[in-house]
Structure 1
Amino acid sequence: MTPWGWLLAAAVALVILPPLLAWLMCRSRAAAREGLPGRMLRLPDGLTRVTVDGLPGRPVAVLVHGLTTPSWVFDAIAAGLVVLGWRVVRHDLWGRGGSDMPGKAQNRALFVRQLAGVIEAEAGDARVLLVGYSMGAAISAAYAEAYPSHVRGLAMLAPAGLGHRMEGFTRFCAATPVLGDWLWATFSGPGLRAAARKAARQGPSSVENIATRLAQESRTRGYRRAVLSSIRHMLAEDMRPTLKGLDAAGLPMLAVWGGEDGLILKAAGKRLAKVAPGAEQITVEAAGHGVPHTHPREVLKALTGFLARL
Structure 2
Amino acid sequence: MKILKVSIIIVLFLVSAASLIMYSFYRYNNKETRTLTDADRKKISGSFIKLSQGITHYELGGPENGQPIVLVHGFSVPYYIWDPTYDFLVKQGYRVLRYDMYGRGYSDRPKVAYTQDFYNSQLLELLQQLKLQGKVTLAGISFGGAVVTNFSCAHPDLVNKVILIDPAYDMKKPAAPQYFTLYNEAVNSDERVKGQMDDFRYPKQHPNWAKLYKPQMRYEGFRNALISTLYNYNNNGRASNACLNSTNKPVLLIWGKFDKTVPPRFSDSIRSVLKTDFFQVDDAAHLPMIEKADTVNAKILSFLKA
Distance 1:129 1:53 in 2: 15
Summarize the Cα distance change of 1:223–1:37 in structure 2 as closer, same or farther, 3 Å threshold: same
Paired residue type of 2:301 = T
- Work out which of the residue numbers 4, 20, 25 in structure 2 matches 1:18: 25
Q: Give the match for residue 78 of structure 2.
A: 70
1:293 aligns to 2:300 (yes or no): no
For 1:225, what is the secondary structure of its paired residue?
helix
CA contact (8 A) 1:192 1:218 kept: no
What's the counterpart of residue 237 of structure 2? 239
1:150 aligns with 2:158: yes
Q: Secondary structure at the match of 1:131?
A: strand
Aligned residue for 1:282, secondary structure, equals strand
Equivalent AA in structure 1 for residue 179 of structure 2: V
Tell me which residue corresponds to 2:125: 117
- State the secondary structure of the residue aligned to 2:196: helix
2:199–2:261: 8 Å Cα contact kept in structure 1?
Answer: no
* Contact 1:91 1:118 (8 Å CA) reproduced: no
Cα distance change, pair 211–252 in 1 and its aligned pair in 2 (3 A): same
Equivalent-residue separation in structure 2 for 1:6 and 1:23 (angstroms):
25
| 2:227 pairs with 1:225 | no
Cα gap change, 1:244 to 1:121, in 2 (>3 Å): same
Q: Distance in 2 between matches of 1:184 and 1:161?
A: 22
Q: 1:125 to 1:12 in 2, by over 3 A?
A: same
For this pair of structures, how many residues does the alignment match? 296
Residues 232-283 of structure 1: CA deviation (Å, up to 9, x unaligned): 333x41132222122222111111000010011332111111101x211101
Deviation at 1:225, TM superposition (A): 2.1
1:89-104 equivalences under 5 Å are 89-104=97-112
| Pairwise CA distance, 1:146 | 1.0
Deviation for aligned residue 1:13:
3.0
TM-align CA RMSD: 2.6
Q: 1:125 to 1:54 in 2, by over 3 A?
A: closer
The reply on whether 1:284 has 2:285 as its aligned counterpart is no
Shift in Å, 1:97: 0.9
Distance 1:33 1:57 in 2: 29
Structure 2 counterpart of 1:153, which letter?
Answer: K
What is the aligned-residue identity percentage? 23
- Tell me whether 251-260 or 261-270 shows the greater mean CA deviation: 261-270
Alpha-carbon distance between aligned partners in 1 of 2:31 and 2:268, rounded to the nearest angstrom: 45
Instruction: Name 2:302's counterpart in structure 1.
Output: 305
The one-letter amino acid paired with 2:203 is Q
What do residues 28-79 of structure 1 show as CA deviations (whole Å, max 9, x unaligned)?
A: 3237635322221111111110111111121110100001210011111011
Which residue does the alignment assign to 1:266? 264
Question: Which letter does structure 2 place at the counterpart of 1:175?
Answer: A
Question: Unpaired runs of 5+ in structure 2?
Answer: 1-5
Please state whether the residue corresponding to 1:88 is helix, strand or coil.
strand
Q: Relative to 1, partners in 2 of residues 1:199 and 1:251: Cα closer, same or farther, differing over 3 Å?
A: closer
What does 1:39-188 align with in structure 2 at a 5 Å threshold?
39-124=47-132, 126-161=134-169, 175-185=176-186, 187-188=187-188
Deviation per CA, 1:99-144, whole angstroms, max 9, x where unpaired?
A: 0111112221111111111111223462101011110111011111
Separation in structure 1 between the aligned mates of residue 34 and residue 136 of structure 2, nearest angstrom: 35
Q: CA deviation at 1:84?
A: 1.8
Q: How many Å apart are 1:203 and its aligned residue?
A: 6.2
- In 2, the alpha carbon distance for the partners of 1:68 and 1:175 equals 20
Contact preservation (8 Å) 2:193, 2:214 = yes
In structure 2, do the counterparts of structure 1 residues 189 and 163 end up closer, same or farther at CA, with 3 Å as the change threshold? closer
Contact conserved, 1:175 with 1:232, CA < 8 A, in 2? no
- TM-score when scaled to structure 1? 0.86
DSSP 3-state at the match of 2:60: strand
User: Normalized against structure 2, the TM-score is what?
Assistant: 0.87
- The one-letter code of the counterpart of 1:49 is H
Structure 1 pair 229–292 and aligned structure 2 pair: CA distance change class (3 A) = farther
Task: Report what 2:210 is aligned to.
Answer: 211
Find the counterpart in structure 2 of residue 190 from structure 1.
Answer: 190
Which structure has the bigger radius of gyration? 2
| Structure 2 letter corresponding to 1:301 | A
- Checking the alignment, whether the CA contact within 8 Å between 1:131 and 1:156 is kept in structure 2 is yes
Please give the secondary structure, in 2, of the residue aligned with 1:49: strand
Q: Is the Cα contact below 8 Å between 1:188 and 1:224 reproduced in 2?
A: no
